[in-house]
Amino acid sequence: TVNGEGSGSCFFTEDLRGKVIRGARIKAILLEAAFTENDDTLYLEYQPLLDLKTNKIAGLEALARLRDEKLGVISPAEFIPLAEEMQLILPLGQKIIRLAFGLMNRLEKSGYGDVQVNVNISGIQLIQEDFTDGLIRMAQKSEVNLKNLVLEITESVLSDNYEAVNERLGRIKTFGVRVAIDDFGTGYSSLARARELNADYLKIDKCFVDNLLTLSSDETIVGDIISMAHRMGHCVVAEGVEDERQYQYLKEHGCDYIQGYYFSRALAPEKVMELIKGVNSLTVAKIREVSRKR
Ligand code: C2E
Ligand code: MG
Ligand code: MG
Ligand code: MG
């Protein structure tokens, strides 16, 4: 911190200096990516959602990445907060939706119109006056069916602008778009809120899945969340499933979908199309093998 006397720089540690420089570089990359039309600095990978009842890929979650010559691939966990801070999340978010619609269009044209695509949306995007109209316009332009789109929103969005968000989501849903509450269980939302929002999916946060089978109390919590969510009409997705035992537990407790490295990491669009095309005849073990070779 820089407080009072002396020049600020003597209070900067090397560590902080490095962090500031990296942050500034990422911000510059974001700025460039936001306003350059055909630029592949920002791109999407897609992580499959496995339907535990049918063993088929029910959907794909679009996950944003940023590539840079010097810094390599930058995680959204790092750059999305910076993009939000700079308000660049609006143009970048539009780009993300357009890219995801591109894949949706390919899926629909290839006869996989039943595969849903999940897109993560920031609160800042959602509270824009013209968000819904923009979404509809883009869907028409990309020739995609909005019934195949799922918007993922995190709980923090709900805590800040609950009324506005609730109203916005209500209107969006009339166009067939579905809504998932992401990272469920980590923040402010509750089953009561999920019901008010009429959320289609609850995505149980990875931290609960991590502790599954090591902490016996969490084991019960996940089972309880699944059955309560079902009673209230929501589908349940478990995120961050990494091993066989978690997979078995979730299957036994009636979880609807899983996502995680156990099954598949996020894949490039080409790889995901390949996977989807071959998948109907594949076993879970085979899918795991295919998605690993990426
Ligand atoms: P999220 O939406 O909860 O996405 C799940 C994250 O967990 C992803 O990280 C995914 O790669 C990772 N993951 C999935 N399965 C496993 C697993 O088995 N083990 C482990 N260790 N991790 C797993 P990622 O891609 O780094 O994304 C981080 C977060 O950044 C996302 O969390 C989401 O909140 C945000 N994000 C990503 N893409 C976008 C986007 O396009 N827009 C917005 N607003 N946020 C995004
Ligand atoms: Mg998500
Ligand atoms: Mg999530
Ligand atoms: Mg999460």
Segment 23-33, tens digit of pLDDT: 999 999 999 99
**pLDDT value at residue 161:** 77
More confident residue, 278 or 113: 113
pLDDT at 258 over 70: yes
Task: Return the C-alpha torsion angle 223, 199, 52, 226, nearest 10.
Answer: 10
**181 CA distance to ligand 3 middle (Å):** 8
**pLDDT value at residue 251:** 96
**Does the C-beta of 83 come closer than 6 Å to ligand 1?**
no
Residue 281 pLDDT level (bands cut at 50, 70, 90): low
Percent of the chain scoring above 70 in pLDDT: 89
Mean pLDDT is lowest, of 154-163, 184-193, 283-292, for: 283-292
Q: How far apart are CA 288 and CA 263, in angstroms?
A: 5
**pLDDT value at residue 221:** 85
**147 CA distance to ligand 3 middle (Å):** 20
More confident residue, 272 or 162: 272
Residue type, 151: L
Q: Give burial (CB, 10 Å; 0-12/13-18/19+) of 254.
A: middle
Residue 11 pLDDT level (bands cut at 50, 70, 90): low
Residue 200 pLDDT level (bands cut at 50, 70, 90): very high
Q: What value does the mean pLDDT take over residues 132-140?
A: 97
Q: How far apart are CA 41 and CA 2, in angstroms?
A: 35
Any idea which ligand is nearest the CA of 63? 1
* Ligand 1 atom index nearest CA of 266: 11
pLDDT at 3 over 60: no
Any idea which ligand is nearest the CA of 152? 2
CA 3 to chain centre: 40
**182 CA distance to ligand 2 middle (Å):** 5
Q: Please name the residue whose Cα sits nearest to atom 29 of ligand 1.
A: 77
**Does the C-beta of 220 come closer than 6 Å to ligand 1?**
no
Residue type, 117: V
**pLDDT value at residue 5:** 47
> What are the two backbone dihedrals, phi and then psi, of residue 111, each rounded to the nearest 5 degrees?
85, 15
Residue 2 pLDDT level (bands cut at 50, 70, 90): very low
Q: How far apart are CA 106 and CA 115, in angstroms?
A: 11
Q: How far is CA 141 from CA 32, 80, 101, in A?
A: 24, 26, 9
**44 CA distance to ligand 1 middle (Å):** 11
Any idea which ligand is nearest the CA of 121? 1
pLDDT at 166 over 60: yes
pLDDT at 293 over 70: no
Candidates 80, 103, 131: which one to mutate for ligand 1, based on the most atoms within 8 Å of Cβ? Answer: 80
**5 CA distance to ligand 1 middle (Å):** 43
**Does the C-beta of 162 come closer than 6 Å to ligand 1?**
no
* Ligand 1 atom index nearest CA of 63: 38
Tens-place pLDDT, residues 39-78: 899 999 999 999 999 999 999 999 999 999 999 999 999 9
Mean pLDDT is lowest, of 133-142, 219-228, 229-238, for: 219-228
**251 CA distance to ligand 2 middle (Å):** 21
ipTM reported for the complex, 2 dp: 0.97
* Ligand 1 atom index nearest CA of 125: 44
Q: Please name the residue whose Cα sits nearest to atom 41 of ligand 1.
A: 64
Q: How far is CA 284 from CA 54, 60, 117, 173, 175, in A?
A: 10, 16, 20, 32, 33
**pLDDT value at residue 271:** 95
pLDDT at 4 over 50: no
Token pair, residue 25, equals 């570089």
**Does the C-beta of 291 come closer than 6 Å to ligand 1?**
no
Q: What value does the mean pLDDT take over residues 128-136?
A: 95
pLDDT at 284 over 90: no
**pLDDT value at residue 283:** 64
**Does the C-beta of 260 come closer than 6 Å to ligand 1?**
yes
Residue 290 pLDDT level (bands cut at 50, 70, 90): low
Candidates 63, 84, 127, 149: which one to mutate for ligand 1, based on the most atoms within 8 Å of Cβ? Answer: 63
- Find where tokens 């909005």 sit: 146
**205 CA distance to ligand 2 middle (Å):** 10
**pLDDT value at residue 286:** 66
**pLDDT value at residue 165:** 86
Q: How many CB atoms lie within 10 A of CB 291?
A: 22
